């Protein structure tokens, strides 16, 4: 199965903000922000989410918004944050959102 990903110039700010407005999706993006490819299972483990099916919808929302690349690899999917595309399209947006999430978490 191949997934459709929007081209960089098709990424819209309203889609990105909507996708990152959900706490589970934002937490997943924070994990992916560490860089590289991650398999779905490792992200679920880090988030403490037991059921893979719970995240299927969230991956689709993030993918359709242009926030992640999701590629099949055997029986797993590999996830990559589209940081370069997001930073080019909306400079500083992702950093501001992730910094704000860290601030909310620490209460600082």
Domains in the chain, number: 1
**pLDDT above 90: residue 51:** no
- Mean pLDDT score, 75-90: 96
Whether 108 shows a pLDDT value over 60: the answer reads no
Q: Quote the CA–CA distance of 85 and 78 in Å, as a whole number.
A: 18
Q: Is 106 part of any domain? A: no
31 is a domain residue? yes
Q: How many angstroms separate the CA atoms of 55 and 66, rounded?
A: 17
Q: Report pLDDT for 103.
A: 72
Q: What is the CATH number of the domain that holds 44?
A: 1.10.10.10
Q: Look up the pTM and report it.
A: 0.90
Which residue range(s) make up the domain with 68?
8-93
Contact 28, 43 (CB under 8 A): yes
Residue 98 is assigned to a structural domain of this protein: no
* C-alpha to C-alpha distance for 108 and 106, rounded to whole angstroms: 5
Question: Is 103 within a domain?
Answer: no
Q: Is position 102 within any domain?
A: no
Domain assignment of residue 99, yes or no: no
Please check whether residue 65 lies inside any domain of the structure: yes
Q: Is residue 101 part of a domain?
A: no
**Chain-wide mean pLDDT for the chain?**
91
Spatial distance between the Cα atoms of 104 and 33, rounded to a whole number of angstroms: 17
């Amino acid at each position: 199965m191949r997934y459709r990903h929007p081209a960089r110039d098709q990424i819209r700010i309203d889609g990105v903000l909507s996708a990152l407005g959900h706490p589970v999706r934002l937490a997943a993006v924070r994990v992916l922000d560490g860089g590289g490819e991650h398999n779905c299972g490792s992200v679920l483990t880090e988030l403490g989410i037991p059921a893979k099916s719970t995240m299927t919808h969230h991956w689709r929302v993030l993918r359709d918004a242009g926030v992640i690349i999701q590629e099949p690899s055997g029986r797993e999917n590999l996830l990559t944050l589209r940081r370069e595309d997001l930073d080019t399209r909306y400079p500083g947006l992702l950093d501001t959102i992730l910094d704000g999430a860290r601030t909310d978490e620490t209460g600082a």
